[in-house]
Structure 1
Amino acid sequence: MKLQFNTKLQPLQDALAKCDKGALFCVKGQSELAMPRIEVSDVGVLSFPVTQDQLKKMVERATRAPYGKGTETITDLNVRRVWQIQNADINISGEQFNVFFNAAIKHIKDTMGLAGETVTAELYKMLIYDKGGFFLPHRDSEKAANMFGTLVLSLPCSHRGGDLFIAHSGKQVVVSLENDTVSSIKWTAFFADCRHEVKPVTEGNRVCLVYNLMRSGGHKLILSSDSGELITNEFNKLFCVRKAKKVYRPKVVDDEDDDDDAVAARKVHDDDEDDDEDAKVLKKAKTSPTTTTSTKIEGDKENDDDGDDDDNDEDIDAEFNLEGAKDRMEKIVYTLQHVYSMANFTLESLKGNDAVLARALLAISDKAQIKIGLAFIHLKEEGGYSNEYGGPEYYNPEAELTLEYVKDIETDEDMDLDEDMTVEESEILPKGRLDNIKPYEEEAEEATGNEGGTYEKLYRHSALVIWSTAYTGVFTMVENPDVVFQMWDDELEEMGGIDANPRATLELFFNMLVCLNKLQKSPQQLESILAILGENSSNRYLPKLISLAIQSYGPQFSGRLHGDILIEILLDPSLRSMTPDTVSKTITLLLRYAPPGGVVDLWCKMLEVPNPPEHLSTLQLHMVHQLKDKIFILEQCDKLIQALNTHAMFAQERQKLVDMTCAKATAIMNIEMAKGTFPSSLKEIERLLGLVATGVAPSYVSLPRLKELFKMVVQGSPPDLHIMIMRTPYLMASPRWSVSSQFIQTG
């Protein structure tokens, strides 16, 4: 099935292609050497070329080689026809052979993307193909931990045919292992997941030694500055990250195996930089609570205790912008070349270009602010099916893509994610990798009656998943709110408290909110967030922290649930950052994001504050003027009017404010009456009339006003006989003034 490629990913694909070291999925060679001493039990020391007498004895000593099918081991000469001798019955020695063997292993490392790793080979068995011997297409099972491939040595023994066809990722290589020599060895190595086939031997016998290739260690990769910068910039564009200001330094992943020359070269380079800038010193950057990147500052200039005075509001708003975080791509899913089992899918098990790519990404992960995971893409394809015209036909396909078995590539620990994390086609790289994969399960149903046929195909493919940590930091891919708040506490404790590093607190808080914004929100979460903000004692970024909380959780705000703690923060005289101006801006932001009813309840609570600060009355007046355009419920108008009529702070502007609020209430009444049904509107008019009669009606409700509403309701529908008949019982049951000649005529 062909997926739609997101052309915006093309520049990143091109940049990542520069990391491709040209790693091959198979290599081959031939070496002339003094042949080793190979002794086989019950056969003796082999001669080269192997003699017919020795071949006969080896076959007598051998057993038929089986093959694996799922969890079964099967011997079937229709699938595999070859003799095997176990490694315990073979003894190999020879100094020149060891030199040859070590050189072959080094070549395998250098050409198959394994540089920096420790590669070893373990003899598995000897295979003897006689005339007609073959092995149908298959993949080798990974028979031991850290096994990644197979090495085959073809010993001198005259034969024809038996070519080895090795296929991988749409490419195929044909290796001839015919060896008519006396003193040379032909060899080939390939990754275990490569599909390969041994064609029938047409003449003579082929004798070969088969080794399991093992790997260990070697997470190291030093990426050039140019390549690292190019890839980082492309990630920044896709993840909407502002260009980093720090100087790029290549990261060495697991550099314990680094060679001394490389370390020395980097040291010389660093020393040269220091000589050029000896007036500067290195100081740990405070822009992140988890950063290990160094940044340069003037040697004699010391920042204040929190190191944040150079920040201005515009820079802070631009850097910590929740709206910008919404528009970014969440992840990129890079499908891998090789096939991996669920049981053996780790950083150490990655092969060829997959390994090169993964280690290149790890090398720039800090600089590019990315987190990398291993996962399987699960693709479910459904559509129409027909088998009427000479073969099956599949049409109108629809695909559903999800991620399964996601784990951290560095720790190999499972990530606590949704079981079915959706993958969008626009997130998948590289172009065309999944177009020709084969389903591991498929099912089709023929058409029945009036219903057409349907089909379902299931696919699975290994992938790297790349998330940006620029907006979520340590909270990247955390899916549980309880875990988020626990991580906040843990990170804050490690930082030394909420006031220890205000700039780091701001970044951590921003990261937490971006993470929480993807999850199901609740008023209880906002309660926890406000409790966090209430712990501040001197944080200069407190107004920004509050504004971020309101932008994220404004819709969950309740004046009754959250009002007390918010008022305590806004009016705390010990918080220098909460000036009258910042408090006013905070309330304006709350009016923009929070439900009006929640703000009305907050306003009422603020009226009850004992010994209020001088600016509170101005703030209350400001809130009333803003609320009149926000509220659309009469109950909220009633609360405002009652408070305006009873609190002394509104004495000078009381009538103006009450009239303004009454006008808003009248407009709301008109809207509600216009939307209501004829019976419900009359019932509401009767209710209000009762309030007028008992003297408890709101000031915006009067008998003349009710008459106007009645007239509006009666005239609300076109004059139709059927409608008039339906109205009559309600009119007859209405108050006396409603059936006067004036209103009957209007109906």
Structure 2
Amino acid sequence: MKFIEVEYNRDLKPLETVLSGVKRPGDFFVSGAIEIPLPKVEVEGAGTLSFPIPEAQIAALVQRAERAPYGRGDKTIVDTSVRKVWQIAPGKVRIGGKSWAATFETILAKVSAGLGCEGVGVSAELYKLLVYDRDGFFLPHRDTEKTDGMVGTLVVTLASAHRGGELRIRHAGREVTVDTSAVDFSELSYVAFYADCEHEALPVRDGNRVCLVYNLVQERSKGRGKTLKAPEYESQISEATSILNEFLRASDAPAKIAWLLEHQYSPAGLSFSALKGADAAKAGVLVQAAARVQCAAHLGIVHIGESGAAEPDYDEYSYGRRSSRYRDYEDDEDPETEDEDDEGADFTTVTVDDSWQYIDEWRDTRDLAIEFGPIPLADGELLPEGALDEEPPDNKRLTEASGNEGASYERSYHRVALVLWRRDRYAEVLLQAGVVAALPYLKQLTSGGKGSRSEALALAERMVEAWQGDSRRWNGYFSGGRRPESSHRIEMIAALGKLKAVGLLERFIADTVTPSYDGLETAALISSVDVLGDTKAAMLFSGLISVRMPNRPNECAELLLALTEDASRCFPEVAGSVIAGLDRIGIRNPKLQPDDWEPEERRRPLGPQFLVNLLGALRRFKKATL
């Protein structure tokens, strides 16, 4: 068998059909900012503009400007109750500078990509320079076609101090507001939109907004007379919404689904904003549909692989050769040095001894990296069906036979997918990868105020229940997640304390921290006393010390000493547990599982500091008779 067998989802054919017609990327608007050497802008009668534009030059611009009119039917009207802005004709404005041509080409390329016009040929013609002084605005309107082939408008805001003046754009039931006042003075901000979009300029509350307005013109080719319009996928979004809602709410629905994208993306460059062509278009539809059915959407890299015994299909000269169409993010090799024509070793699979499917390198819709870690991918969660059929693996390796061992192989796919799951199954999905994957989401919920407290408590309870199992099942290989460490226990103690979840905190310390305590959790435990109360804290810490004194005596003495920092509190039973455990130091504790007992080299040897800490704590407790 030359390809890895993949179990796809076979129940979402209707969704595949809907998305098959979504090919053109782009949106009805695009905006951004670019840091560049600022252009040289000369205005007749006002001279060369300085940046940010000073008040004196604003006054000079206004003196040479005229009130901008607006169109009503076949009439052109000046009415400052509808449009209050100054305009200067393009013939009086000259824009240059050494880097301006290249800079403007960059802006135009970003605009073309954002509007879905790549490959079509779109140029920009300066229409006018506008000055919105204080209280300047323009009520909602649509642009008329000012030149043959005009498809939209590009607005480049020059560096000028102002507040307000946001541009609000509407299309097909959607609305966005673009604020250009937040841009640094070293940047040029731009926004472009299709001509059929309703838009308005909100009032400038302070300062002056100065901008260059361009007509975006489609370059006509012979036999092509259709004017570009914004990609319109509302019907597909509605259909996808209905399909996802019905499918994901079924009792037997998988926890998540992963839609494989067509293009290859490196982990370093992975983001929604970097998606190409049809990937961007399909992702846009799925993300909007997911939001309507209360689903989370993330990008991630799907890893599907297997290894086992193999028989080489060629002579032994080529043993050990490796082919790679994917540069692993842990590989430091220069990709240009790889032999792209090398298809690697051909072999016949004898047995599949191991296999794995998981997703990592997560990005949310804001293009922020999310530390979920590797989350297992279950059978039936991947689509579209057949996406990897007949696709050669991205990595494959054949290892020659040696000694009593025959030849072995390993091969794998590494592809980007858009992953969706219901928000009310967030905990279930993350806990597939273990408690470490769920910690960032728990911290997010604990910081979300009263509205998210109930969800945070529900997730915290599931994590407390799952923690011990996670610690024991981890085996150092992928295994669906990362092993919980002391740093994660510290984060969990803090989260439970913030939630004031006394019962859960008590269980977590007793069941999870106690058998794993290594001293790093001491500060977090001390902080938890305020939530637990003295009585519960004393009971829990006494139990912890009874269990951990045999192999963590130094750390137990440090915990006892830390408890004495607050003179108003007294924990004599904790001190008693330390004293009672002195004769058990170094003796294996039968209460600990084998995995919890640490080898000698991982434990700090007893030294004078142990006695200093112990006697110092006892002196503060005034329990010299213990």
Greater relative contact order: 1 or 2 (C-alpha under 8 angstroms, separation 6 or more)? 2
Same fold (TM over 0.5): no
TM-score (norm 2): 0.37
Looking at CA atoms only, which structure, 1 or 2, has the larger radius of gyration?
A: 1
More helix by share: 1
